[in-house]
Amino acid sequence: MTSTAYSTALIGVFLLCLAVGWYLSTRVLRYLLASSIMDIPNERSSHQAPTPRGGGWAVMLTVVPVFAVAGIVFGRPLETGAVLLGTLALMGVSWMDDRRELSPLLRLAVQALAVAFGLLALPSDQLVWQGWLPWGLDRAATAFLWLWFVNLYNFMDGIDGLAGSETILIGGGVALVSLAMGEFGLTGVAGAALAGAAAGFLTHNWRPARMFMGDVGSIPLGHILAFLLASLAARGDWAAALILPAYYLTDATITLLRRLLRGEKIWQAHREHFYQKAAKGAGRHDRVVLTIIGYSLVLVAAALAAGSFGAWTLLPGAVTVALLLATLTRMSKA
């Protein structure tokens, strides 16, 4: 497949998934309203009115079939099957958690099992950490970050439009990096599919949100994106794999460490992330999300430049994240 043909294919996948994601979002919204499946505001919420929760079904029902077909087309049915098996398990457990709160240990156990299956999808002869660690430690470290990414994706889904926007940026970034590196295959198509499906959902989730993604969307999305990022790193594009999710990783990790040091229960909902404090200070979710999108576009550009400049692009990536966090902190004090 030529670069032009692959570019056209990725655009087609994006547009198809955008249309399907939008249509399924309208259907899912009707179902959630008819079934009275609502997110009721509490003292830890960033919204004021009861809002349907579970819109992530529209995203996942769009992405999963495309991911499965891409695995067959690109000759990786067993690998995609392993990832999808974990994804489906996460969707089931997360939907139950959306309906009634489950034990954190049960959720973590299913997540760990999904990650274990996901690791099987990575080529056994490729090292995610580029040889810095022996094979066993390479996979153990990857599993730890993968599990953390699944959870942080859920933690960062706290204001209107944020998770959908970041899925577009990270998924689209994966597709663009794959295209730029001439690595035509599963990662590019899956990234484009995620970006398109999230864009379709975002039309219903932008401020004021008509529905929320819920765990049924954020948890499995984090799982698939973690697989794509690990795949990028394993084939040598490790700098891009670090840069694309850098804001999410930094905001969630700093917040988690602060809560750990204070002895708080890290699995409980809260309003202490940088973006949540900024939304409270600014009084508008969309203003905060647009700010994050602006800085995240710089991260996508840095990830694309990593193919030419390698590890040097980590510096502008780190500076961009630092400036974003500083900006969000100023917004929280407005």
Domains held by the chain: number: 1
Mean pLDDT, the chain, whole residue set: 93
Question: Per the domain annotation, does 304 fall within a domain?
Answer: no
Question: Per the domain annotation, does 168 fall within a domain?
Answer: yes
Question: Per the domain annotation, does 286 fall within a domain?
Answer: no
Vertex 162 angle, CA 65 and 318, to 5°? 105
Give the rounded percent of residues in the chain with a pLDDT score beyond 90. Answer: 84
pLDDT tens-digit map of 260-283: 888 887 777 778 899 999 999 998
Which amino acid appears at position 297 of this protein? L
Of 196, 195, 199, 178, the residue nearest 187 (C-alpha): 178
Question: Per the domain annotation, does 117 fall within a domain?
Answer: yes
Strand partners, 51: 39
Question: Per the domain annotation, does 314 fall within a domain?
Answer: no
pLDDT tens-digit map of 125-163: 999 999 999 999 999 999 999 999 999 999 999 899 999
Question: Per the domain annotation, does 97 fall within a domain?
Answer: yes
Q: Is the pTM of this model over 0.75?
A: yes
Containing structural domain, residue 34: 3-237
Of 201, 19, 214, the residue nearest 98 (C-alpha): 214
The pLDDT of residue 39: 84
Question: Per the domain annotation, does 268 fall within a domain?
Answer: no
Question: Per the domain annotation, does 193 fall within a domain?
Answer: yes
Residue 285 pLDDT class (50, 70, 90 cuts): very high
**Total Cβ atoms within 10 A of residue 78:** 10
Give the rounded percent of residues in the chain with a pLDDT score beyond 70. Answer: 97
SS (H, E, C) 26-66: HHHHHHHHHHCCEECCCCCCCCCCCEEECCHHHHHHHHHHH
Burial track 125-161 (b if 16+ CB lie within 10 A, e otherwise): eebbbeeeeeeeebbeebbebbbbbbbbbbbbbbbbb
3-state secondary structure of 74: coil
187-209 mean pLDDT: 96
pLDDT tens-digit map of 217-233: 999 999 999 999 999 99
Pairing relationship of beta strands 51-52 and 38-39 according to DSSP bridges = antiparallel
CA dihedral (266, 239, 219, 120) in degrees, to 10, reads -110
pLDDT tens-digit map of 10-65: 999 999 999 999 999 999 999 999 999 998 876 555 666 789 999 999 999 999 99
294-306 mean pLDDT: 97
For residue 300, the surrounding DSSP H or E stretch is helix 285-309
